Amino acid sequence: MRSIETARLSPYVAALNGLNEDKRLRCLKPRVGIDFASNDYLALGSDPRIKKAVIAALEAGTPVGAGGSRLLRGNCEEHEGLETEAAQFFGAEAALFFGGGYIANFALLTTLPQRGDLLVLDSLVHASIHEGARAGRAECRIHAHNDPQSVEDAIRDWRTKGGAGRVWIVAESLYSMDGDFAPLEELVATADRQDAFLIVDEAHATGAYGHQGRGLTAPYDRRENLIVVHTCGKALGAAGALVTASGILRDFMVNRCRPFIFATAPSPLMAVAVREALLVLQKEPERQRRLAKLVSFAHREITSLGLRTPSTSQIVPYIVGDNAHAMRLASALQARGFDIRGIRPPTVPAGTARLRISLTLNVGEADVRAMLDALVEVTRGSF
Verify that 165 and 266 share a domain, yes or no. Answer: yes
Is 90 within the bounds of a domain? Answer: yes
Looking at the fold, whether 224 and 104 belong to one and the same domain comes out as yes
Q: Is 204 a known active-site residue?
A: yes
Closest CA to 212 of 271, 145, 280, 156: 280
227 bridge partner residues: 199
Give domain status of residue 189, yes or no: yes
User: Angle at which helices 101-111 and 247-256 pack, to 10 degrees?
Assistant: 90
pTM of the model: 0.93
- In the listed set 234, 264, 283, which residue is the last one of a domain according to the structure? 283
- Does residue 208 sit within a domain? yes
Domain shared by 365 and 276, yes or no: no
Query: Across the chain, which distance is largest between two alpha carbons, in Å?
Result: 65
Within the chain, residue ranges assigned H as helices are: 2-21, 48-59, 77-90, 101-111, 127-135, 148-160, 184-193, 247-256, 258-261, 268-283, 286-304, 323-335, 365-379
Residue 308 belongs to a domain: no
Question: Is residue 221 within 8 Å of 92, Cβ to Cβ?
Answer: yes
CATH at residue 327: 3.90.1150.10
* pLDDT at residue 29, as a whole number: 84
pLDDT recorded at residue 30: 84
| Residue 356 near residue 317 (C-beta atoms within 8 A) | yes
The amino acid at residue 196 is: A
Q: Is 85 a catalytic residue?
A: no
Task: Round to whole Å and give the CA distance between 342 and 317.
Answer: 10
- Would residue 332 count as lying in a domain? yes
Cβ 177 vs Cβ 122: under 8 Å: no
Q: Catalytic: which of 201, 202, 276, 339?
A: 201
Cα separation of 171 and 161, whole Å?
24
Q: How far apart are CA 262 and CA 291, in angstroms?
A: 39
Classify residue 104 by burial, with Cβ atoms within 10 Å: 0-12, 13-18, 19+. buried
CATH number at residue 65: 3.40.640.10
Mean pLDDT by 10 residues, the chain (383 residues): 69 92 86 95 97 98 97 97 98 98 98 98 97 97 97 97 97 97 98 97 98 97 96 98 98 98 98 98 97 98 93 97 95 97 94 97 98 94 48
Task: Report pLDDT for 382.
Answer: 44
Quote the DSSP letter at residue 214: -
The rounded distance, in Å, linking the Cα atoms of 232 and 244 is 13
DSSP 330-351: HHHHHHTTEE-EEE-TTSS-TT
Q: Considering 83, 117, 126, 173, which one is annotated as catalytic? A: 126
| Active-site residue, 79 included | no
My answer on whether 242 and 354 are in the same domain is no
Q: Are 319 and 179 in contact (CB under 8 A)?
A: no
Q: Please pick, among 128, 146, 176, 323, the residue that the annotation labels catalytic.
A: 176
CA distance 113 to 272: 31
- Final residue in a domain of this structure, among 263, 283, 303: 283
CB 225 within 8 A of CB 234: no
Residue among 78, 83, 117, 172 flagged as catalytic: 172
Given the residues 79, 130, 230, 234, select the one marked as catalytic.
Answer: 234
Asked if residue 336 belongs to a domain, the reply is yes
71 and 29 fall within a common domain? no
pLDDT at 123: 97
Q: Decide if 212 is inside a domain.
A: yes
CB 38 within 8 A of CB 362: yes
Q: Give the pLDDT of residue 4.
A: 57
Q: In this structure, are 133 and 63 located in the same domain?
A: yes
Is the four-CA dihedral 313, 316, 319, 322 of positive or negative sign? negative
Same domain, 171 and 254: yes
How many Cβ atoms are within 10 Å of 188's Cβ, its own excluded?
20
Q: Is residue 241 part of a domain?
A: yes
Q: What CA–CA distances, in Å, run from 40 to 100, 234, 338?
A: 15, 5, 16
The domain containing residue 72 runs over which residues? 48-283
Contact 325, 5 (CB under 8 A): no
Within this chain, do residues 61 and 35 fall inside the same structural domain, yes or no? no
Into how many domains does the chain fold? 2
The helix/strand/coil state of 212 is helix
Residues 352, 336 contacting (CB under 8 angstroms): no
Using CA atoms, how far apart are residues 332 and 355, in angstroms rounded to an integer? 12
Residues 201 and 345 in one domain: no
Q: What is the pLDDT of residue 199?
A: 98
Give catalytic status of residue 29 as yes or no.
no
Same domain, 155 and 227: yes
Annotated active-site residue in 130, 204, 230, 299:
204
CB hemisphere CA count around 95 (13 angstroms): 26
Contacts of 167 (CB under 8 A, 6+ apart): 117, 118, 120, 155, 158, 191, 194, 195, 196, 197
**Non-local CB neighbours of 285 within 8 Å, separated by 6+ positions:** 212
In terms of domains, do 82 and 212 share one?
yes
CB 9: neighbour CB atoms within 10 A? 11
Tell me, yes or no, whether 36 and 52 share the same domain. Answer: no
Q: Is 172 a catalytic residue?
A: yes
